[in-house]
Amino acid sequence: MSRLIRSSALAWALGYVLMGLAALAAFAIPLWYAWNVTIRTGREEILRDDAQRLTEVFTREGVAGLTAHINARVGMQIAGERTLLLTDSAYHPLAGNLAAWPQDIRPTPGIRAALPDLPGQPTRTLFVETLLPGGYHLLVGRDLSRFLPLEQRFTWGLISAVTFLFVVGVVGALLIRRTLLARVQGIGQAVSAIMQGDLRHRLPLGGSEEFATLSRTLNGMLDHIEHLISGISNVSNSIAHDLRTPLAELRSRLEELALTRPPSAEAFAEIEAAVADVDRVMRMFNALLRLAEIDSGARRSGFVRVDAAAVAAEVVEYYEPVAEQKGVVFSFQSAGDAAVAGDPVLLAQAVSNLIDNSLKCVSERGAISVRVGRRADGAVEIAVADDGPGIADADKPKATERFFRGDPSRGTPGVGLGLSIVDAVAKLHGGVLQLLDNHPGLKAQMVLPVAALRAAP
């Protein structure tokens, strides 16, 4: 029961019923008042006129004349239409169609409505009492019962309207509540299922537009959560897996040292190798922490106006000697203004990761070209293209996943986080990382929209 009372649908419906009642009252009360006043005033005037005419008869013709007049009128009258009574000062009836002066009408001249208890007489009568000279009392009344059915009909109409309103309101409320509850319970069940671990479950989209919109929004949120969760579990799996290798090496190295107690020269070499293992693990951690830092978006607060071309040129210059040493043709081109709102260090790191990847995979005498330019839509494009083995189409969507390493790169140094960082940096800047075919090789390009530039200092 208390659930029913707390139900918002019911509360709303009751509110509407009350509002309907208030509207009905606001309509009926003035109507009833106006009707009553008009009719009553009209009747009173008629009675007063009637009494006035009888008084004139009395003045002209005396008691006998009035008695005769009244008797004549009573004889002609349609029964019950008019009540007439003339009495002397002691209220003894002289003429009229009332047997006695009504008990509850006080002898004061004026107008009143009363329900005198008169046997065989109408039960509701409006009276005008007049005091005639010589102590005679004249009572002129009119039966109102003729109007009773009308009033009753009005009252009944009002009552049935109220009842109808109430019933429709309550039934409607219950129906709406049932529908709402069903929809809300549907969402609740879907959410419970999801909480119990079935992340692929989605809310049904049918029904009213409002609920469909809500469901769509929730489904969008669920898609995002599912993506994040799968990302997290992938990452945890990969971390566990990728850390196992250096840690296993480290462990066996240390254990072997303890077991074999080799001569010190050899022992030192082993210890140094062990330190190198630890450094490898630390590098992975650093890259992961950096990724987490980028993903959190906190770095966005430090965005400044950066010339992407200048950043890229510096990184190119930094890698130049390495390319030279490897015999790689390394070229850099930039066209036009390439200002973006961004973090110069992160952009440099992203470009550095792309060049680093290319340098690792191109063969000797290969070619790497870096281009920075502005596209027609204003976005700045930083592209690093090489003629190495590229990335297989099937691997492209996975290439930016954490710890993903394509088959050709398995043997090379690195932890598989380079492209993840580039991707994260591009996203932080509101852009994307695209991995395209360079026929042959890979063309990795960051497209950074220029929208936020004006906001940057």
Partner 1 sequence: MKILVVEDNERVARFVTRGLREAGHTVEHANNGRDGLFIAASEPYDVIVLDRMLPGNIDGLGIIEALRKSGNRTPILILSALNNVDERIKGLRSGGDDYLTKPFAFGELLARVDALGRRSVDHAAERLLQVGDLRMDLLSRRVTRGSRTINLQPREFKLLEYLMRHANQVVTRTMLLEAVWDYNFDPQTNVVDVHISKLRQKLELDTERPLVRTVRNAGYMMSEHE
What is the SS3 assignment for 295?
helix
Q: d(Cα 179, Cα 193) in Å, to the nearest integer?
A: 21
Q: Residue 314, interface with partner 1 (CB under 8 A)?
A: yes
Q: Residue 272, interface with partner 1 (CB under 8 A)?
A: yes
CA-closest candidate to residue 111, choices 89, 91, 126, 90: 126
Please identify, among the stretches 55-63, 342-350, 399-407, 429-437, the one whose residues bind partner 1 according to the rule CB under 8 A: 342-350
Please identify, among the stretches 5-13, 145-153, 311-319, 388-396, the one whose residues bind partner 1 according to the rule CB under 8 A: 311-319
**In contact, 196 and 170? CB cutoff 8 Å:** no
The half-sphere exposure of 356 on its side-chain side, counting CA atoms within 13 A, is 18
Q: Residue 416: left (phi > 0), alpha (psi -120 to 50), or beta?
A: left
Taking residues 273 to 292 in sequence order and writing x for each that binds partner 1 by CB under 8 A, - otherwise, the string is --x--xx--xx--xx-xx--
Query: In angstroms, what is the minimal distance from the CB of 429 to partner 1?
Result: 16
Tokens of 135: 């102590």
Q: 189-248: which residues touch partner 1 (CB under 8 A)?
A: none
Residue closer to partner 1, measured from CB, 208 or 296: 296
What's the sign of the alpha-carbon dihedral 262, 265, 270, 272?
Answer: positive
Phi, psi of 445 (to 5 degrees): -130, 135
Query: In angstroms, what is the minimal distance from the CB of 338 to partner 1?
Result: 19
Please write down the HEC assignment for all residues of 222-235. Answer: HHHHHHHHHHHHHH
Q: Residue 34, interface with partner 1 (CB under 8 A)?
A: no
**In contact, 314 and 347? CB cutoff 8 Å:** no
Of 317, 337, 365, 437, the residue at the interface with partner 1 (CB under 8 A) is 317
Q: Residue 319, interface with partner 1 (CB under 8 A)?
A: yes
Written as one letter, the residue type at 79 is A
Of 15, 30, 321, 378, the residue at the interface with partner 1 (CB under 8 A) is 321
Tokens of 11: 């509360």
**In contact, 446 and 350? CB cutoff 8 Å:** yes
Residue closer to partner 1, measured from CB, 82 or 280: 280
Residue closer to partner 1, measured from CB, 260 or 331: 331
Rg (CA), the chain: 51
Tokens of 287: 């890259």
Q: Binding-site residue total for partner 1 (CB under 8 A)?
A: 32
Residue closer to partner 1, measured from CB, 14 or 271: 271
CA angle 392, 395, 400 (to 5 degrees): 125
Query: In angstroms, what is the minimal distance from the CB of 361 to partner 1?
Result: 12
CA-closest candidate to residue 356, choices 323, 383, 390, 401: 323
Query: In angstroms, what is the minimal distance from the CB of 297 to partner 1?
Result: 13
Of 80, 172, 414, 430, the residue at the interface with partner 1 (CB under 8 A) is 414
Other residues' Cβ atoms within 10 Å of the Cβ of residue 295: 14
Q: Residue 427, interface with partner 1 (CB under 8 A)?
A: no
Query: In angstroms, what is the minimal distance from the CB of 219 to partner 1?
Result: 34
Q: Residue 345, interface with partner 1 (CB under 8 A)?
A: yes
Of 360, 396, 398, 427, the residue at the interface with partner 1 (CB under 8 A) is 360
Residue closer to partner 1, measured from CB, 256 or 317: 317
Please report, as ranges, the residues that interact with partner 1 according to CB under 8 A.
272, 275, 278-279, 282-283, 286-287, 289-290, 293, 298-299, 302, 314, 317-319, 321-322, 325, 345, 348-349, 352-353, 356, 359-360, 413-414, 418
